Chains A and B, each alone.
Chain A
Amino acid sequence: MGGLEIFIDGTIRAVEIILSGNPEIFQITLLSLRVSLTATLLGALFGIPVGYLVAIRNFPGKSLCIAVINTLMGIPPVVVGLVVYLMLSSDGPLGFLRILYTPSAMVIAQTVLTFPVTCGITISSIISLNPRLKETLVSLSAPRFWEAVILINEIRIGIITSFITAFGAAISEVGAIMMVGGNLLGYTRALTTAIVLYTNKGEFSMAIALGIILLILALFVNLTLTALQMHYRRHKG
């Protein structure tokens, strides 16, 4: 079969799989979505406050800190996978958790990937705000917490952008979850790791079908986030 035929065949199979509701594929898709969404949310949970504090505070080495975070935004997933693997392996410092080759390990690895994305975008969004906004808050005697409420609200469009970017990085990566998840059928097999497996086995149509499901999934999540972003932009006037 030529490349084009494989692609067409894969597309047809993708439609068949989606319509038939194949439980195995459904389970793989659900795991991908669950792991990547959780990692995106956890990355934001740590990334937004850390990014906010780095942007708002002045401390020695601040530029270096921002440069490191920005560099980590492009860290190869396999490197993250390797580090998390070493941490979680039975000899590693977190080996006692005994979560290597579980979905939890996959979530941790992807959170390490999404954290610098949300953190870095939060930093650049806060830094590019009008400096007089911060001064207005000081002049009004706003306590630190309320200052954060206003400033985070001002960068909410940037935060949604960081969600889109972080989720994109998580759902599409294969290196990290392959290493710490192990691609175990029915347990830690995700869409990307399954695509690698089917490709290695020469089952290209199946790999293409899963690739299409992956794209549809990413499109669906991004459509929701983009709609939210447009909503805020409209209300900004």
Chain B
Amino acid sequence: MGPSGSGKTTLLRLLDGLEFPDSGEIYVGGKRLTMESAPKIRANVGAVFQSPVMFDASVYDNVAFSLRFRGFPASAIKKNVEEALKIVQLEDEAKRNALTLSGGEAQRVALARVLVYNPELILLDEPTANLDPSNSMIIESVLREARSEGKTVVLVTHNIFQAKRLADKMALLLAGEMIEIGDKKTFFESPSDSRTRRFIDGDLVC
């Protein structure tokens, strides 16, 4: 979590290898993320950013895309895409052009597009910002499911209640610095930094 401009999106972009740090090192799954290693590491990382971009193709083709270049046979693609669409509750929209989807539906397709290749690490940037409660609930249930399957989910959110509902571990970013990181209970009940307490209480305005 963190206020606007604190570096949350940049952190996710760094973890996805879309940007590289000026100093310091990043490890994903124990492997050092560099410009050279990024393509290989990224194959096992799925990222869903705010207002995701849909391809000008059907919902089915959007989700099937990652499997096609991974060389999956057609039957496996069909099975996996149908499963992924079912998880995000869009199985009836497979044939629809993805550009005609609402914001919430597009967010769910973007999530399915990532889930379909079964990444170990899922990065999400405010996936439920500006979504109605029913779309938010669907996304939250998908994330819970992913966690129960042992995947690591890094979720950026502005919503303290959502963080409380979903997180095992919490981190707070302020002006590009991670000032607090720890398990959820400690984070909310006895944070080490006074600014964390102020953020939780809604007193920290940046």
A residues lining the B interface (CB < 8 Å): 130, 132-133, 135-136, 138-143, 145-146, 150, 153-154, 235-237
**Contact assessment for B97 and A153 in the assembled complex, using a CB-CB cutoff below 8 Å:** no
Q: Does chain A have a CB within 8 A of B135?
A: no
Partner of A146, one of B16, B52, B53, B69: B69
Minimal Cβ-Cβ distance residue in B for A135: B18
The answer to whether residues A139 and B57 also contact, given A237-B97, A237-B100 and a CB cut-off of 8 A, is no
CB pair B55–A139 under 8 Å, yes or no, is no
Q: Nearest Cβ distance between residue A137 and chain B, in whole angstroms?
A: 9
Chain B positions 50 through 69: 1 when the CB is less than 8 Å from some CB of chain A, otherwise 0: 00110111000000011011
Contact (Cβ within 8 A) A236 B97: yes
Residues B18 and A153 in contact, CB atoms below 8 Å apart: no
How far apart sit A132 and B18, CA to CA, in the bound complex (Å)? 11
CB–CB A139/B42 < 8 A: yes
- Chain A interface, DSSP helix/strand/loop, else mixed: helix
In whole angstroms, how far apart are the Cα atoms of A154 and B61 in the complex?
Answer: 13
Are A140 and B99 in touch, CB under 8 angstroms?
Answer: no
Question: Using an 8 Å CB-CB cutoff, how does the interface string of B94-118 with A read, 1 for contact, 0 for none?
Answer: 0001011000000000000110000
* Minimum distance in angstroms from B101 CB to a CB of chain A: 9
Give the most central of B18, B53, B68: most A CB within 10 Å: B53
Judging by beta carbons under 8 Å apart, are B69 and A136 in contact? no
A135 to B97, CA, bound (A): 21
Q: Shortest Cβ distance from B103 into chain A, in angstroms?
A: 14
Q: How far is the CA of A145 from the CA of B43 in the complex (A)?
A: 16
Establish whether residues B18 and A138, one from each chain, have CB atoms under 8 Å apart when the complex forms.
yes
Min Cβ gap A143→B in Å is: 6
5 A–B contacts from the bound complex (CB under 8 Å): A133-B55, A135-B53, A139-B42, A140-B114, A236-B99
Q: A141-B43, A236-B97 are in contact. Are A150 and B18 (CB under 8 A)?
A: no
What separation, in Å, do the CA atoms of A236 and B99 have in the docked complex? 7
In the complex, whether B29 has a CB less than 8 A from a CB of chain A is no
| A130 in complex: contacting residue of B47, B53, B100, CB < 8 Å | B53
Min C-beta distance of B10 to chain A, whole Å: 14
Tell me if B39 counts as interface (CB < 8 A to partner A).
Answer: yes
CB of A230 to closest CB in B, whole Å: 15
Cross-chain contact A141 with B97 (CB below 8 angstroms) = no
Instruction: Name the A residues within 8 Å of B100 (CB-CB).
Output: 237
A139 to B50, CA, bound (A): 13
Q: When the two chains form the complex, which single residue of A139, A140, A235 contacts B97, counting CB atoms closer than 8 Å?
A: A235
Option from B39, B65, B97, B113 in Cβ contact (under 8 Å) with A150? B65
**Which residues of the other chain, A, contact B55 by a CB distance below 8 angstroms?**
133, 150, 153-154
User: Chain A nearest CB: distance from B202 CB in Å?
Assistant: 32
Residues of A within 8 A of B18 (CB): 135, 138-139
- The answer to whether B65 and A140 touch across the interface, beta carbons within 8 angstroms, is yes
Known pairs A140-B113, A141-B66; A153 contacts B53 (CB<8 A): no
Q: Which residues of A contact B43 (CB under 8 A)?
A: 141
Known: A142-B65, A143-B69. A154 touches B53 (CB 8 A): no
Bound CA span A130–B69, Å = 22
In the bound complex, residues from chain B placing their C-beta under 8 Å from that of A139 are: 16, 18, 42, 47, 49
Decide if B42 touches A133 in the complex (CB within 8 Å). no
